[in-house]
Chain A
Amino acid sequence: MKKKTHHLKIKLIYALAFGTCLALFIIMSVSSPSPNTTILGKWQEVSWEYEKLPDAHTAALGKHINNTLRNEITRELVIHQAETWEFLPDGKLLLHTDAKSVPLQWTLKSRGNILKLDHWETSPEHYNLQALNENEMVLYFNTDLQAKGIAKMKFKKIHQKDYAQKIQ
């Protein structure tokens, strides 16, 4: 009888431990939206900075990346010259420039911290999604898993209200 109670107690402890893990997982996953949802909408480029400076010479010039340098960096990239990024729910990304809109395919990888952009003509590009919330998105270039990217792009979310005011 005593042995049976002991077995039951052990089973209860295990069930409780696994149940707690499951509950923790559920609570955490409903506490904030998935990056897949947060990223949707229009994002305006705010700034370009160096996250890591390539050499001492560049360090002397400061962290800010000017337009000339930016064009040089993005020459081979699909995001070249785009100032507004619009993420659509069907996995489509529209890069709006003054003249036109370039369509791309976007997906998030890993735990939602890697942004993959697919442009059918070139090989896919990967960006490290360093920060993502309702108002701000920060992308790092050169998504090496163990090291931070060299360039940092900051975006501000254009909420519907702001956008309406802007186009008025």
Chain B
Amino acid sequence: MLRKFNNSRTIRDNIQLGSLTAFSAGMVNVTSVIIFFAFTSNVTGHYAILAEEISKGNWYQAAVVFAWIFMFFAGNFCSNLIVINFNQKNTYAAHSAPLMIEIACLLAVGTYGQFFYRETLNETEIMVALMLFAMGIQNGLTASISNFSVKTTHLTGLTTDVGLLTSMFTKREYREDKSLRARARVLFAIATSYVTGGIFAGVVYQQIGFMVFYIASLVIGVIICYEYYKIKIRKMVWNRRKRSSRCKTPVIPEQHIRPMPENVHSGR
């Protein structure tokens, strides 16, 4: 999921990464709508609201929405900055670092919300900003490492793509195109995971409140650990092969083997 970059990624890699990150994004978005009445995984609506608030002359609200949009931008910016600067040195570290930052943000929101939140407007604005930053980080990472084919925090582009693909599939030549079918699989996996994450969060929030963010962090943690585990396994297998090839007894050609004296076998 995280080790491969751009065109070396398989459809399976994209489905795994897309599904897990979309599940967590769905959770974060639905929870923030329930608690804060604000969307945190997409900014299309925020752009419209920004324009509306400016036209009404509500400058304070416009500033808040502007800051939210900026935080989403900053998340994408930081994420890709890490990827392009450290990808050559250590691909896994470069790809998992943004996810670690995302986890830190979600844990901060979850912990603060659970133990310190007094429901003031300033707290709400800051927490929404932090979640938008986290979602920006996630979106930037998935888009960056998948050559812009996986975007998991919002479904506008995805719905557009699904619409286009569905219309294309009315023609046989496109239906039989393996790459298009694979693309459709990725998109459907992301959409399904996003909605499932949202429903799950909506149900679970009633029971555990802000702890939902811990579960969202756990899902992201699974991606990091799964890749780490795979790297470890690969390294272990490689080391074992290397060791066994070193320890193997050299094969002696048959003509060089002398027959053993008979008394050796009889033990005399």
Task: Known A24-B66, A25-B67, A116-B119; judge A35-B37 contact (CB<8 A).
Answer: no
Interface 9-mer from A66-74, A107-115, A147-155? A107-115
Of B56, B64, B119, B120, the residue contacting A111 (CB under 8 A) is B64
When the two chains form their complex, are residues A34 and B70 in contact, meaning their CB atoms are under 8 A apart? no
When the two chains form their complex, are residues B60 and A33 in contact, meaning their CB atoms are under 8 A apart? yes
B38 interfacial contact with A, CB 8 Å:
yes
B62 interfacial contact with A, CB 8 Å:
yes
- Which range holds the interface residue count of chain B? 20 to 34
Of B33, B62, B121, the residue contacting A28 (CB under 8 A) is B62
Task: Known A36-B121, A110-B124; judge A28-B37 contact (CB<8 A).
Answer: no
Of A91, A111, A126, A145, the residue contacting B61 (CB under 8 A) is A111
When the two chains form their complex, are residues A107 and B62 in contact, meaning their CB atoms are under 8 A apart? no
When the two chains form their complex, are residues B66 and A25 in contact, meaning their CB atoms are under 8 A apart? yes
A24-B70 Cα distance, complex, nearest whole Å: 11
A29 interfacial contact with B, CB 8 Å:
yes
When the two chains form their complex, are residues B70 and A110 in contact, meaning their CB atoms are under 8 A apart? no
Q: Tell me if B's interface is mostly helix, strand, loop or mixed.
A: helix
B36 interfacial contact with A, CB 8 Å:
yes
Specify which chain B residues have a CB less than 8 angstroms from the CB of A28 in the assembled complex. 59-60, 62-63, 66
- Which range holds the interface residue count of chain A? 20 to 34
Task: Known A21-B70, A126-B37, A143-B37; judge A111-B49 contact (CB<8 A).
Answer: yes
B65 interfacial contact with A, CB 8 Å:
yes
A114-B38 Cα distance, complex, nearest whole Å: 10
A107-B33 Cα distance, complex, nearest whole Å: 16
B13 interfacial contact with A, CB 8 Å:
no
Q: Tell me if A's interface is mostly helix, strand, loop or mixed.
A: mixed
When the two chains form their complex, are residues B38 and A110 in contact, meaning their CB atoms are under 8 A apart? yes
A84-B60 Cα distance, complex, nearest whole Å: 26
Task: Known A36-B121, A108-B121, A112-B121; judge A29-B36 contact (CB<8 A).
Answer: no
How does the 8 Å CB contact mask read for B119-136 relative to A, with 1 for contact and 0 for none? 111101100100000000
When the two chains form their complex, are residues A112 and B33 in contact, meaning their CB atoms are under 8 A apart? no
When the two chains form their complex, are residues B124 and A35 in contact, meaning their CB atoms are under 8 A apart? no
Specify which chain B residues have a CB less than 8 angstroms from the CB of A108 in the assembled complex. 121, 124
When the two chains form their complex, are residues B36 and A109 in contact, meaning their CB atoms are under 8 A apart? yes
Specify which chain A residues have a CB less than 8 angstroms from the CB of B64 in the assembled complex. 29, 111-112
Specify which chain B residues have a CB less than 8 angstroms from the CB of A21 in the assembled complex. 66, 70
Specify which chain A residues have a CB less than 8 angstroms from the CB of B36 in the assembled complex. 109-110
Known: A29-B60, A109-B36. 7 other contacts (CB 8 A): A31-B63, A35-B121, A36-B121, A108-B121, A110-B38, A112-B60, A145-B37
Sample of 26 A–B contacts (CB below 8 Å)? A25-B63, A25-B67, A28-B66, A29-B63, A31-B60, A31-B63, A32-B59, A34-B60, A34-B121, A35-B60, A35-B61, A91-B120, A107-B120, A109-B119, A109-B124, A110-B36, A110-B38, A110-B128, A111-B38, A111-B64, A112-B64, A113-B37, A114-B37, A145-B33, A145-B37, A145-B39
Which residues of B line the A interface, CB within 8 A? Answer: 33, 36-39, 49, 53, 56-68, 70, 119-122, 124-125, 128
Which residues of A line the B interface, CB within 8 A? Answer: 21, 24-26, 28-29, 31-36, 91, 107-114, 116, 126, 131, 143, 145
Which 4 residue pairs spanning A and B have beta carbons closest together?
A28-B63, A31-B59, A29-B63, A110-B37
